[in-house]
Amino acid sequence: MFKDLLIVGFGSFIGGVTRYVTIQIIHKFINTNFPLGTLVVNLLGCFLIGILYGLFDKGSIMSAEIKLFLIVGICGGFTTFSSFTYETISLVNDSEVLYLMVYMGMSIFTGISMTLIGKNIVDYFIR
């Protein structure tokens, strides 16, 4: 159990730092009230989880520890539902209705699509 906690913790550290740096880079180059940074990391995370899901679905390609490290640790630390909910409420409070609808729609529907695309890419190349 302690080993699993260390695996997840180390992965979460990597994912969280990567999320922070990615969002900062996006906001440095694109100045907008739209929460683009969080949207991008969440969609990238969904795509990555789809690829990993596809790989793990193929059988014994990777160990349970690697799966824990990559999906729960790195992807869990990289994507952020709490930031999504905070930014959604901020858009409501700022009466940014168009941004609100686009952000929610893209986060949910495009996020699911990115996961499926990632998995389908793996399914196509690894049979």
Q: In this structure, which amino acid lies at residue 6? A: L
d(CA 59, CA 71): 16
At residue 96 the predicted structure's pLDDT band, cuts being 50, 70 and 90, is very high
**What type of residue is 30?**
I
Place of tokens 């539902």: 81
pLDDT in tens, 6-50: 999 999 999 999 999 999 999 999 999 999 999 999 999 999 988
Query: What is the Cα–Cα distance from 127 to 123, expressed in whole angstroms?
Result: 6
User: What integer pLDDT is reported at residue 62 of this predicted model?
Assistant: 77
What tens digit of pLDDT does each residue of 74-85 get?
A: 999 999 787 788
User: Considering the entire predicted model, what is its pTM?
Assistant: 0.82
| Dihedral sign, Cα of residue 98, residue 104, residue 106, residue 107 | positive
| Domain ranges within the chain, ordered by starting residue | 2-125
38-54 confidence digits (pLDDT tens): 999 999 999 998 898 88
